[in-house]
Amino acid sequence: MLGFDAFSLIFFLLIILGVFPNIFYTFGYLPHIKRKTYFLVNYFAFIVSMIGVVLAKEILVFLFFWELMSLTSWQLILTENTKESREAGRFYFLMTHLGFVFVLLFFLILSPNDLSANFSVLKLYAQSFEYPTLLFFLIAIGFLSKAGVVPLHVWLPYAHPAAPSPVSALMSGVMLKVAIYAFLRFMFILPAWQLEWGIIVLFLGAITSLVGVLYALSEHDIKALLANHSVENIGIILIAIGLGMIFHTLKLDTLSAFSFIAGVYHSFNHMSFKSLLFMTAGSVLHQTHTKNMEKYGGLIKLMPITAFLFLLAAISITALPPTNGFLSEWMIFQSMLSTAGISDISLKLSFGFTIFALALTGGLAIACFVKAFGITFLGLARSENAKHAKEVNILMLLGQMFMGVVVVGLMLFMPSIIKAINASMPISNIYDKMFPNYFVMHSVAHNFGAVSPLFLLVALIGITLMVWLAYKVINPKIREYHTWACGYDTNAKLQYSTTGFAGPIRRFFTWLYKPDVHKHKEILYGHKTKFKSSLYEVHVKPLFERSLYDSVKKAINYITYIVYRASHFEKERYSALIFNLLIFILFSMRVFYHEVSWGSILLEGVVVSIFISIILFGERK
């Protein structure tokens, strides 16, 4: 039923690293929650369910824990029982069970007579299955909808902000990686991967990373911003997995192993820095009582520990050296840059687009976290709550600091983590090629790049100390004075806002955002350039939600309306409907037997139109 193997053990470690600091943070956050017993029961059941998913060895056990994970996370979203949480919970419930349908179909098709089968038996069934591409699509839709891949990601920016902050950290940091585990676990069951599968995963990853970071930039809600960045990082993980699948199909086993290791290592990294970001954002929310970044500002002076830990996580998620986020993204770039010798035109186009997407994603991520950190922690307070904020309690701080240790540890002990990942997966053993020296990681690609996080960290600390010593030796004169604001009074309204900061990028991507802009200005004494107050708001509704999900919702509403009308006909309409169906059947038989004439078509058309008019314009009650 339950058991360890090397692959499940590595993700069990990921869960433990994500859960242990979160428990400290949760008990510090608990006074902020009204329904404490309800929350704690679902919280610990959620943790048990995620562990159960990675330890399950049989189909029914896996499905039980997978569904338990969905239900407990859904209940945790509903903890605060507000209109926002209820709507987010309803959306999440629908999307997570849509994915569950595909997961269930995968098992029913592959093992229709034995849902208690062991995963090792499933591998034998998969080898004799005639349609492996069908299994691939069922796995991809079922598990990647839970991971947040575009276009099945739309629940994420609603569910994560609505949940309590420790739950947001667990869902984004851990639960999404459990979905990645499930996808990889059952992909390795399938035999003879096809090249197109890898291209599909690669393309989905590139689109997902771009869409996630672009919508993160447009957000005012700090938790929705972080949720969109979860979408972005799931895309980066899928890029690495897609590369590994492509290289495996092309028999480039060393590059395939390197890419898979990069994907799983980035899963660990994202777990650490995204959990820390949600914890620190939750601390800010705890003190300011709002998720709107326009109400923050100046918090670095009042919450210095939280600000430092948010900065640490922000540097890591933007892949700046020497952080763990930089190391895993460096590995992914090294994998992509080794594709120059591949001649297949579809692969060349796919790799070119992916390199462009990942590079653009990296640049936009830096811009987004400059906005997030600057607006939140720097400058002047933009609200009374921000003015009176203070550092959170010791348990919440301990949880954040422990997660900060995990972030730094994943950087410093990268060789050991990668060795464990390499040993856990059914791929080539390339650890010795990557680490001829424990402190330096070498690329296995053709360009043979190398990087050492420890040397980079020592160099960074050394340069910082040299600058500090030079400053002390020179001892320049310092004069403190008010900020020059071109003659205007310096106040919080003169600072950059989240809307203003993202303005240039939003205007460049107007075709994607299609924002709703609301302006209001109260003019002073009739002067157009002088005004007493003004308001400028921008609201962005995601493209996929607007164009895909709203269209599906309208189509479903229309179909249900037709069904409702059909079930509430008057008796005249029922008889007309039956008569029309009879005419249609008889006419179809005559067409089949070639016994049709223009006269009969005209006569029957007149009769049908009369009865259709009875259906459409009959008695109305």
Is residue 302 within 8 A of residue 371, CB to CB? The reply is: no
Q: What is the pLDDT of residues 218-257, one digit of tens each?
A: 888 899 999 999 999 999 999 999 999 999 998 888 899 9
Is residue 183 within 8 A of residue 267, CB to CB? The reply is: no
Output DSSP code: residue 292: B
The model's confidence at residue 526, banded by pLDDT at 50, 70 and 90, is: low
Is residue 140 within 8 A of residue 200, CB to CB? The reply is: yes
The model's confidence at residue 594, banded by pLDDT at 50, 70 and 90, is: low
Q: What is the 3-state secondary structure (H, E, C) of 103-145?
A: HHHHHHHHCCCCCCCEHHHHHHHHHHCCCHHHHHHHHHHHHHH
Lowest-pLDDT range, 97-106, 206-215, 607-616? 607-616
Is residue 528 within 8 A of residue 536, CB to CB? The reply is: no
**Entry pTM:** 0.86
Q: What is the pLDDT of residues 366-413, one digit of tens each?
A: 999 999 999 999 888 888 888 888 999 999 999 999 999 999 999 999
Using CA atoms, how far residue 91 sits from 85, 88, 542, 593, in Å, is 10, 5, 15, 51
pLDDT at 154: 85
**Residue 569: enclosing H or E segment and its boundaries?**
none
Q: What is the pLDDT of residues 465-500, one digit of tens each?
A: 999 999 888 888 888 777 777 767 777 777 777 777
Share of the chain above pLDDT 90, in %: 41
Asked if residue 325 has pLDDT above 50, the reply is yes
Query: Would you list the DSSP string of 390-441?
Result: ----HHHHHHHHHHHHHHHHHHHTHHHHHHHHHHHSSS---HHHH-SBTTBE
Lowest-pLDDT range, 140-149, 264-273, 492-501, 602-611? 602-611
Between CA 339 and CA 349, with CA 344 as vertex, the angle to 5 degrees is: 70
Q: Which residue has the higher pLDDT, 478 or 463?
A: 463
pLDDT at 611: 62
Cα–Cα distance, 216 to 222 (Å, whole number)? 9
Q: Which residue has the higher pLDDT, 518 or 290?
A: 290
Is residue 538 within 8 A of residue 499, CB to CB? The reply is: yes
CB-CB neighbours of 563 under 10 Å = 10
Is residue 268 within 8 A of residue 410, CB to CB? The reply is: yes
Residues near 467 by Cβ (< 8 Å), separated by ≥ 6? none
Q: Which of 119, 444, 509, 115 is nearest to 252 (CA)?
A: 444
The model's confidence at residue 84, banded by pLDDT at 50, 70 and 90, is: confident
> Mean of the pLDDT values across residues 414-433?
90
Cα–Cα distance, 24 to 400 (Å, whole number)? 9
Instruction: Map residue 497 onto helix, strand or coil.
Output: coil
pLDDT at 605: 72
Lowest-pLDDT range, 110-119, 494-503, 560-569? 560-569
Cα–Cα distance, 46 to 40 (Å, whole number)? 10
Cα–Cα distance, 335 to 265 (Å, whole number)? 14
Q: Which residue has the higher pLDDT, 558 or 467?
A: 467
Cα–Cα distance, 97 to 88 (Å, whole number)? 14
